[in-house]
């Protein structure tokens, strides 16, 4: 499958998706660590993709998203942003309601 289609499918099938370096339990850079902490503090389940173990995604996602850096948080198919935006939204209390609204209802 074409890598752009893989990225599109990942974004469309996961309500909350974080492209990051490493994993939520073991982030591999400070920006990913701060972003995943903010997302985890909101209490919603989310999917993640480790771009370090997926070099094709690491190369092509910035083209797909028109966003050059990682991490990238996607909610309901829309790019929310990277570390600075996500942590600022969390500090202002804007991230939790966004993620709660996006999370699948049990």
Instruction: Give me the helices (H) in 1-106, please.
Output: 3-13, 30-41, 55-65, 83-91, 95-102
Is 42 annotated to bind a ligand? Reply is no
Is 29 annotated to bind a ligand? Reply is yes
Is 45 annotated to bind a ligand? Reply is no
Is 83 annotated to bind a ligand? Reply is yes
Cα dihedral value 58, 64, 70, 72, nearest 10: -130
Which residues are annotated as part of the binding site for glutathione? 21, 58, 70, 83-84
Residues in the annotated binding site:
21, 29, 58, 70, 83-84
State the binding site for [2Fe-2S] cluster.
29
């Amino acid at each position: 499958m074409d890598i752009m289609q893989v990225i599109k499918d990942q974004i469309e099938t996961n309500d909350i998706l974080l492209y990051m370096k490493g994993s939520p339990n073991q982030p591999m850079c400070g920006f990913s660590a701060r972003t995943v902490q903010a997302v985890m503090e909101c209490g919603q389940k989310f999917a993640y993709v480790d771009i370090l173990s997926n070099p094709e995604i690491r190369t092509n996602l910035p083209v797909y998203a028109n966003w050059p850096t990682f991490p990238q948080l996607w909610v309901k198919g829309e790019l929310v942003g990277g570390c600075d935006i996500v942590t600022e939204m969390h500090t202002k209390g804007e991230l939790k309601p966004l993620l709660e609204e996006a999370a699948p209802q049990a």
